[in-house]
Amino acid sequence: MDLKDQFKCRNCSFELLPKAARCPSCEEPVILNGSTLKPTTGYSLYGVARDIPEAIKRDVRRECGCGCVIDGKMIVAYDHFDPQFHLLKYQHESAGIALLCPDCHHRKNGSSPQLTDAQVKKHKERPYALRKGKATYPQFFLPPGPERFRIGEVVLKGNELILQTKNQVWLRIKQPTEDFEPVLVDTFLNLEHGNPLLHLSDNVLTAFPSEHFDFVEKASSLKAYFDRKVILHLDRSDSRVMDVKYAETWIDGNYLQVQDSGIYINGHLIFGGGDFQIHATGTITLNLDLMLQSKLLGETFPGLDLIW
């Protein structure tokens, strides 16, 4: 027998997936070398592998507004509701998959289910994040949280550090009043005309989803995209450091970019070109307008206690 024939249904000749235990066409059990095959762990009854292809995941995120379809939380699992995973016949399809937060996922798939496939299906039709125009990530920095921020080559550590223009505060990093709490961070990423993409306020992250927006959390890395282009890349592989690998935003009519080589405003390097740290014992306010002017004039920053 040709190897290809082994993967054909004996009953109806339908071409089977290699791990199929049942034929998706005629529903007959698959028999190989005289014995009935059992479903393989990690595969559906019909042989579809559990891993969802990236392109399908991206479609699911877009369809759900990057949040749990029930309550909009951004820490998510991919839940098959139509059909359930073990009954998947041919391939994963975004229409049958919803984003659920760990709580809702547990309410549906835990030992005493309170959520049905039908309810999830109904929510997927009008997902919370798209209905409300926002998805939230509560407790973005969990205690004890990062002690330091690294932006490009710049390490920021202090009681309170503020980066702002004349009219707008872009970044505020504040030490907590209690030891066991994480640092508090306020910042935002906006589009050119001020449309918000992401806000972080007192460590609660809010995203404003659209068909252009995407948000992916994988292990210690977190990335936000606009039109498939990275607009934010954070890395937490060292739990004491929040590494800002990349960020871009419009602030007060200026285009601000954070890269490995430093911080740029309207294409001018503001920080970078060597390792230095900013340590603040009190509140330190860095005025981006002044820095931009200083940089253009080739001067150092006025009134700042910088440790190089």
Q: Under rule CB under 5 A, which residues in 25-84 are in contact with Zn ion? A: 25-26, 68, 70-71
> Least distance to Zn ion from the beta carbon of 204, Å?
16
Stretch that binds Zn ion, among 12-20, 55-63, 210-218, 242-250 (CB under 5 A): 12-20
**DSSP string of 233-293, one letter each residue:** EEE-SSTTEEEEEEEEEEETTEEEEEETTEEEETTEEEEESS-EEEEEEEEEEEEHHHHHH
Residue with Cβ nearer Zn ion (65 or 145):
65
Site map 187..226 versus Zn ion, x via CB under 5 A: ----------------------------------------
Nearest approach, Cβ of residue 214 and Zn ion (Å)? 19
DSSP per position, 130-186: HHHT-EEESSSS-TT--SEEEETTEEEEEEEEEEE-SS-EEEEEE--SSTTSPPEEE
Give exposure, 36-70, as e/b (b: 16+ Cβ within 10 Å): ebebeeebbbbbbbeebeeebbebbbbbbbbbbbb
Measured between alpha carbons, how far is 66 from 166 in angstroms, rounded to an integer?
33
Interface stretch with Zn ion, choices 17-25, 57-65, 231-239, 252-260 (CB under 5 A): 17-25
Please, what is the minimum distance in Å from the beta carbon of residue 163 to Zn ion? 34
Does residue 129 interact with Zn ion by CB under 5 A? Answer: no
Q: Which residues of 208-228 are buried (b: 16+ CB within 10 A; e: fewer)?
A: bbbeebbbeeeeeebbbbbee
Please list, in sequence order, all residues whose beta carbon lies within 8 angstroms of the beta carbon of residue 286, skipping any fewer than 6 positions away: 161, 162, 163, 164, 278, 301, 304
Minimum Å gap between C-beta 14 and Zn ion is: 4
Residue 256: CB minimum distance to Zn ion, A? 33
Query: From the list 20, 21, 23, 88, which residue makes contact with Zn ion (rule: CB under 5 A)?
Result: 23
User: Cβ of residue 69: shortest distance to Zn ion, in angstroms?
Assistant: 8
Give the type of residue at 132.
K
119 sits near Zn ion (criterion: CB under 5 A): no
Q: How far is the CB of 146 from Zn ion (least distance, A)?
A: 26
Which region, judged by CB under 5 A, interacts with Zn ion, from 1-9, 39-47, 79-87, 225-233? Answer: 1-9
What does the DSSP 8-state code read for residue 51?
A: S
| Segment near Zn ion (CB under 5 A); pick from 53-61, 93-101, 135-143, 160-168 | 93-101
Contacting positions for Zn ion (CB under 5 A): 9, 11-12, 14, 23, 25-26, 68, 70-71, 101, 104
